[in-house]
């Protein structure tokens, strides 16, 4: 299993503090070891504390290729998916996963065609 080198999250400062405050947790140590945790570029300007600027600034990420990463991809996917919430509201347990998987597949096909 290949572990990601960067975890990019809009509230990375609180996540990193949470992980740092649990040194006895094997999961927290594993997440902190060998992985940079940074805030996404869209939300980082709202993080004004000195701790955030020193510890989760995406501009300080040293992982090669990160400067080209779309750190807002999660926000974009959520915004796209939120447009379908009225359809999901009336679905039962059997139909919801099927539709979600189908929509995700169709969206990935659309994005792949757009990038060609």
Q: Model confidence at 77, in pLDDT bands (50, 70, 90)? A: confident
CB count in 10 Å sphere of residue 69:
16
Query: What does the pLDDT read at residue 107?
Result: 85
Q: Which two tokens stand for residue 45?
A: 């300007």
Position 1 pLDDT exceeds 80: no
Report DSSP state, residue 5: S
Chain mean pLDDT for the chain? 88
CB distance 76 to 50 below 8 Å? no
Query: What does the pLDDT read at residue 37?
Result: 93
Q: Model confidence at 111, in pLDDT bands (50, 70, 90)? A: confident
């Amino acid at each position: 299993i290949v572990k990601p080198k960067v975890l990019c999250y809009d509230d990375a400062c609180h996540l990193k503090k949470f992980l740092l405050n649990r040194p006895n947790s094997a999961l927290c140590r594993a997440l902190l070891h060998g992985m940079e945790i940074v805030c996404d570029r869209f939300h980082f300007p709202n993080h004004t504390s000195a701790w955030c600027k020193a510890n989760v600034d995406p501009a300080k990420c040293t992982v090669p290729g990160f400067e080209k990463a779309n750190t807002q991809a999660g926000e974009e996917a959520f915004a796209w998916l939120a447009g379908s919430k009225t359809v999901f509201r009336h679905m039962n347990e059997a139909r919801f996963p099927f539709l979600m998987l189908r929509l995700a597949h169709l969206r990935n096909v659309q994005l792949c065609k757009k990038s060609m």
